């Protein structure tokens, strides 16, 4: 697989960074993961905009304008002859003087890699996930949570914890006992035909979350933002997770307690797949 | 400069890791920075023990036993002909399957790099730092804070913030308005001849912090753990930071307000330098 690294198209064994790259030293960077369908990146502009906002917050200058990065990913898709894939864009602060201070670190690292796409979901037989709450708590005031930074140990350890118990995905609570997101995606639940999701406070504003809200609006499903505790999710009419790679994944259970399956999530998954098809046609 | 990487001694241009290394992707790793004096690492055992504890918490298996890593750093010091230096040990989870889950990532990356030592401090004319509180807040319940993980964006951004105002180092507060540590070291202050420091709750147990407490005990200085607010530090008889690279650095000011200079910190710096000399003789 060919990757894009700092302006060059390189084979895997040359897609390397210095052990002194601040991304490797401190997680001093950002990333985006996006779906490539029909040889086109889905919602490129929104992913790129989030990356730019994060870079601005961290004080990292994106080394390529959006247009050049878009051309790079298109060529990467072409060179690797992959029509269906996941693309990962990584931007780190690169190598600089020793120590936490970012002063003098002015050569960011920029990489795009392609990865096998998961099997396309089938809305008539959706995969369902066993969800489990992780013991790690997010800080409801965390300024970094709104960006997709390379500081993701909480998510890594949350996944490890719940997978050890046989679950598929971790639900993350904040320090106010509110369930705010999943490790890899945003949280939705259904109550009396209304689709609810936590507000963007101390969590990542997912591109797929936004797509799901648009799809609800387009089909007349009422949406509302609210902050649920665990019991409210467990007693709802259905829970689902939104994420780039799968679109929408309904919950089979939360902490071992079976969840209802809302027809909303099947409908939204089908609509999402159609949206991807239309926008990447 | 020669570095040690996964069992090999390599020049800088070969001290590289894959862009898919989880250290680079997620900050999924740990590190230690230690002083090399007289061609010997200072307090190797304590740094290594902290690394092992962190690795155990993250579920990363250290690829070398302590003895082999110790031999590697000794040879690195010899090959680079550096008697005075800083050494950085990095352990990441290495490359694995795509996604947050650490499942299947079983080839950790282990690197040791040497860096120029800062000028040896002169206890008769100590460098003093302008300290400034950063707006980022630490979570007092953060389980990860006790380990030196590669998730250090809070520290990076704290340094950037205070340096933009001309300060030398950032003071970090937690979500309870307690000043708990500096970005690069532990916090101490002096009241009526007693040396105080925050307890190890939600902060890193510094190797130099421990050394300072030992030196106080050896010289009959009373020590106590407590959690100060900003005003208490500003009205104390002196504030200083402990860190591997400098030992002890007294504060010149906090948020622009001049600090008293306690004779304690001069004494402790001299004692620390003597301790380093003795243990690396």
Q: What is the pLDDT of residues A244-269, one digit of tens each?
A: 988 999 999 999 999 999 999 999 99
Q: What is the pLDDT of residues B136-169, one digit of tens each?
A: 889 888 889 999 999 999 999 999 999 999 999 9
Min Cα–Cα distance to chain B from A221, Å: 31
Chain A interface, best mutation among B17, B26, B96, B112, by max A CB count within 10 A: B26
- The DSSP element (H or E) to which A86 belongs, if any, is strand A85-92
Mean pLDDT of A19-33: 98
Do the beta carbons of residue A196 and residue A225 sit within 8 Å? yes
Q: ipTM of this model?
A: 0.97
Q: What is the pLDDT of residues A168-216, one digit of tens each?
A: 999 999 999 999 999 999 999 999 999 999 999 889 999 999 999 999 9
What local confidence, expressed as pLDDT, does residue A36 receive?
97
CB contact under 8 A, B184 and A100: yes
Chain B interface includes A195 (CB < 8 A): no
Nearest residue to A94 via CA among A120, A61, A143: A61
pLDDT score of A119 more than 90: no
Query: What are the φ/ψ torsions at residue A233 (nearest 5 degrees)?
Result: -65, -45
- Chain A hits for B61, CB-CB cut-off 8 Å, are none
Do the beta carbons of residue A247 and residue A279 sit within 8 Å? no
Nearest residue of chain B to residue A97 (CA atoms): B115
Q: Checking DSSP bridges between strand B223-225 and strand A16-18, what pairing results, if any?
A: unpaired
| Angle (deg, nearest 10), helices A207-219 and A44-58 | 140
Q: What is the pLDDT of residues B56-86, one digit of tens each?
A: 999 999 888 889 999 999 999 999 999 999 9
Chain A interface includes B25 (CB < 8 A): yes
Chain B interface includes A132 (CB < 8 A): no
pLDDT score of A122 more than 90: no
Residue A17's pLDDT band, with cuts at 50, 70 and 90, is very high
Nearest residue to A90 via CA among B27, B69, B238: B27
- Chain A hits for B150, CB-CB cut-off 8 Å, are 24-27, 153
Between positions 56 and 85 of B, the ones with CB within 8 A of A are 58-59
pLDDT score of B250 more than 90: yes
pLDDT score of A130 more than 90: yes
Over pLDDT 70: what percentage of chain A? 100
What local confidence, expressed as pLDDT, does residue A243 receive?
95
What local confidence, expressed as pLDDT, does residue A257 receive?
97
Q: Which of A23, A29, A160 is opposite residue B101, by nearest beta carbon?
A: A160
């Amino acid at each position: 697989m060919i990757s894009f690294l700092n302006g060059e198209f390189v084979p895997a064994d040359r897609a390397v960074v210095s052990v002194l790259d601040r991304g490797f030293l401190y997680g001093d960077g950002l990333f985006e993961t996006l779906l490539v369908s029909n040889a086109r990146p889905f919602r490129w502009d929104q992913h790129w905009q989030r990356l730019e906002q994060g870079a601005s917050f961290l004080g990292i200058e994106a080394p390529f304008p959006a247009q050049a990065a878009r051309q790079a990913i298109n060529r990467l898709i072409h060179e690797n002859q992959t029509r269906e894939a996941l693309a990962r864009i990584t931007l780190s602060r690169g190598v600089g003087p020793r120590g936490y201070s970012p002063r003098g670190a002015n050569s960011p690292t920029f990489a795009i890699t392609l990865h096998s796409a998961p099997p396309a979901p089938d809305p008539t037989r959706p995969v369902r996930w066993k969800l489990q709450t992780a013991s790690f708590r997010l800080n409801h005031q965390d300024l970094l949570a709104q960006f997709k930074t390379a500081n993701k140990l909480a998510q890594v350890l949350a996944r490890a914890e719940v997978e050890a118990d046989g679950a598929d995905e971790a639900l993350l609570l904040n320090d106010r006992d509110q369930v705010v997101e999943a490790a890899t995606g945003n949280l939705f639940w259904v109550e009396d035909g209304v689709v609810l999701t936590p507000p963007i406070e101390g969590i990542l504003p997912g591109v797929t979350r936004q797509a799901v809200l648009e799809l609800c609006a387009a089909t007349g499903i009422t949406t509302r933002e609210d902050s649920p505790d665990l019991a409210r999710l467990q007693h709802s009419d259905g829970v689902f997770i939104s994420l780039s790679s799968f679109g929408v994944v309904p919950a089979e259970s939360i902490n071992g307690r079976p969840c209802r399956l809302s027809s909303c999530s099947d409908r939204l998954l089908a609509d999402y797949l159609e949206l991807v098809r239309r926008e990447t046609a």
